[in-house]
Structure 1
């Protein structure tokens, strides 16, 4: 693919509270290349989740341009944006956001309800996604019958079932113990390295951030310079642009 996976130019976001403007992001400009794994860090209230939501098309900027695969998503209507998100973005949340009355398989199927796939095809896609995250034996289990790490794996299967080009993860290990968190990060590594998924992850955890290719810090709505994650050296292939 030509051009970056994600391109932001002079992006700003302001909320209004009590009739007063509250700027959250100011003049954010940077690119994310295809196949990158970027971690966003910063203190609470720095704008990390807001920036992630803008990149994913969950929210829209007050100003500036956001292009994902060369589509200016800030200019899409609400219905166009919903359709674009369903086809191009996979979401992973800290608290899983699973439907408690649905099985693992049924939760993973949900994004496919917006596609033209029939019921059998949806089941096949969902089963394959659960196999990819190591939960082939848990397809009929409900969320309350799964551990936190297993629930997050279901959430990841749901995020990848539509084969999105972009995965956004908001504190995906924040509610997990260290062992489960490590397993989830290993899974994200494989999605990035083996399947070439572009991943943007918000995290407070330095260990988690260092699993990414690079780290950006947000402070009071402004973005730091790019940092290479020190514990995950850039490979010779990536250095060569291959």
Structure 2
């Protein structure tokens, strides 16, 4: 584990409203994740692991507590500033890829760059680099429907990398893949962590997938089951 915390979660709690009821999801979570770590979040369904991931990524806000990424308390950012921070600092990988079906692999990867000031040439060069990193140069003009599940997830990984984010968050990235494709994706994530130094936080219910990470956080009923990263 790194000694320099990139993500600092301090006494964070989160609940949701269901009709007149308040349903607690996370209770007093405190955790540090170092820069360059690859952490797997595990726990049974309803344990709060995806909620914690969404809080770290700035998709949702806690009811209480602080959440700092790179020293910045993102819980205090106004919505517009939070969205800007998220776009610049977080890369997302989802279980079902979340690709635009009417766009090619190249265009899906380029999409986050359309909000930047990069020129068309600069965007094309950057997309070319990440396509090469995920070994999909020969599929750049294919649509998602023309790609296998593993290839679609590689497009999603390339899209997550395209803005060179500080943090990559992955929610069940191998959950919709066969074992061979899952192994390929996990190996790719390990290389991103090892060779590019990317900090990765991955939610998974699969102990085998979690084994690809450097460390494990286990949640049980909204609390850390052992209070620390293993």
What's the TM-score once normalised by structure 2's chain length? 0.97
Please say if residues 130 and 139 of structure 1, whose CA atoms lie closer than 8 Å, have aligned partners that are also in contact: yes
User: Paired residue for 2:191?
Assistant: 190
Q: How does 1:42-57 map to 2 (within 5 A)?
A: 42-57=43-58
Instruction: Note the C-alpha offset of 1:109.
Output: 0.6
Looking at both structures, which has the greater relative contact order when contacts are Cα pairs under 8 Å and sequence separation is at least 6? 2
Please say if residues 3 and 70 of structure 1, whose CA atoms lie closer than 8 Å, have aligned partners that are also in contact: no
| Cα distance in 2, alignment partners of residues 218 and 158 from structure 1 | 29
| Cα distance in 1, alignment partners of residues 73 and 85 from structure 2 | 11
User: Paired residue for 1:214?
Assistant: 215
User: Paired residue for 2:38?
Assistant: 37
| Cα distance in 2, alignment partners of residues 164 and 227 from structure 1 | 23
Please say if residues 36 and 200 of structure 2, whose CA atoms lie closer than 8 Å, have aligned partners that are also in contact: yes
| Cα distance in 1, alignment partners of residues 85 and 109 from structure 2 | 19
| Distance change (3 Å), C-alpha of 1:36 and 1:78 | same
State the Cα deviation string for residues 30-74 of structure 1 (Å, max 9, x = none): 100000000000111111100000000000111000000001000
| Cα distance in 1, alignment partners of residues 51 and 110 from structure 2 | 27
Alpha-carbon RMSD: 1.2
Instruction: Note the C-alpha offset of 1:133.
Output: 0.6
Q: How does 1:82-231 map to 2 (within 5 A)?
A: 82-225=83-226, 226=228, 228=230
Report SS of the residue matched to 1:58.
Answer: coil
Please say if residues 25 and 220 of structure 1, whose CA atoms lie closer than 8 Å, have aligned partners that are also in contact: yes
Report SS of the residue matched to 1:215.
Answer: strand
Which 4+ runs in 1 deviate beyond 4 A?
A: none
| Cα distance in 2, alignment partners of residues 130 and 66 from structure 1 | 33
Aligned residues: 228
| Cα distance in 2, alignment partners of residues 78 and 119 from structure 1 | 29
Instruction: Note the C-alpha offset of 1:17.
Output: 1.1
Stretches of structure 2 that go unaligned for 5 or more consecutive residues are: none
Instruction: Note the C-alpha offset of 1:227.
Output: 5.1
State the Cα deviation string for residues 177-219 of structure 1 (Å, max 9, x = none): 0000000000000000000000000001100001101111111
| Cα distance in 2, alignment partners of residues 164 and 77 from structure 1 | 20
State the Cα deviation string for residues 80-99 of structure 1 (Å, max 9, x = none): 01100111000000000000
| Cα distance in 2, alignment partners of residues 172 and 54 from structure 1 | 18
User: Paired residue for 1:74?
Assistant: 75
Instruction: Note the C-alpha offset of 1:224.
Output: 2.3
Stretches of structure 1 that go unaligned for 5 or more consecutive residues are: 229-242
What's the TM-score once normalised by structure 1's chain length? 0.92
| Cα distance in 1, alignment partners of residues 131 and 101 from structure 2 | 17
